[in-house]
Amino acid sequence: MSNSQSFHSGRVALVGKPNVGKSTLLNRIVGQKVSIVSNKPQTTRRKALGIAHGEDWQIVFVDTPGIHEPHNRLGRAMVEQARSGLMDVDVIVYVADGSHHPGEVDKQIAAMLKDTPNAPRPLLCLNKMDLLKAENVERNVHAYESLFGTEESMLTTATRGDNVDELVKMIVSRLPERAPEFGDDEFTDQSSRVLAAELVREKILQATREEVPHSVAVLVDGWEEDETPLRIEATILVEKASQRGILIGKGGQFLKNIGTKAREEIEKTLGQKVFLALHVKVSEGWRQNPRILAELEYRD
């Protein structure tokens, strides 16, 4: 590692609408699963730090929930987490779906960033460039740069890694000279318990449709480190009995499949063998329940 004089380190907020690829981008740069991904909007519900390491730099990414119009306490908590993620950062990267022209929500977020005290001018990551038609490139890039008052942008495809290294170079060039904040073996601030709960939720999001994904939360209520394999007990919260039926499935098969996929992902992330026991519980209106939201760490 270079000496601290030539070492660049800092915090970088990833901000944007839901489902634009923020978490995919984060996981790609960090090289580890930090934030769960699915094609459902509002997959990310809390701030998460993802730590990327280079030879002479360290980027501490703050992955924030997608900014949207909230309709319940959970939604309000998520937007608040996104806002608080803008505080005390060295760089803001606004991630947008570059294949679309900026919409109303992009305009609202641009206004919010301008109103945030001491917020650095955003760097634009126009993601999903593989879906961007050649004739729209200039128009879309100019529209986003005008809206956010910057000429610094990068077109990327996070799923394939296209131009992601170039984006990292742009970020590092904006970081102050500073010693690293974290050790070079750390990749997130999330506990193993939170990561395990999120990985279970990811598998549910990827396997379900309609109202089920938004109505699901996962609580880890048992964690036996002394056991081999590591024994994890988790409760999946849903809001309706019908949703419980969907998740359990005929003869318990749906839940069993989710459990198998989640266990494999948890083992890969934690680097150890795991026994995972899942239960499904109906908790009507949990998204409006402050106690449950606090227990799920969805509030600061």
Q: Residue 198's Cα: distance from chain center in Å?
A: 10
In order, the DSSP letters of 109-173 are: HHHHHHHSTTPPPPEEEEE-GGGS-GGGHHHHHHHHHHHHT-S-EEE-BTTTTBTHHHHHHHHHH
Please state the pTM of the whole predicted model.
Answer: 0.80
pLDDT at 278 over 80: yes
pLDDT at 57 over 70: yes
β-bridge pairing 48-53 and 57-63: antiparallel
Which domains does the chain carry?
4-174 (3.40.50.300), 192-295 (3.30.300.20)
Out of 90-104, 133-147, 213-227, 230-244, pick the least confident.
213-227
- Is the omega angle on the peptide bond into residue 229 within 30 degrees of 0, that is, cis? yes
| Res 85: pLDDT | 63
Structure tokens at 133: 């038609």
**What is the distance between the alpha carbons of residues 224 and 178, in angstroms, rounded to a whole number?**
39
- pLDDT, tens digit, for every residue of 30-43? 998 887 776 665 66
Note whether 201 and 217 are within 8 A (CB). yes
**What is the distance between the alpha carbons of residues 199 and 37, in angstroms, rounded to a whole number?**
9
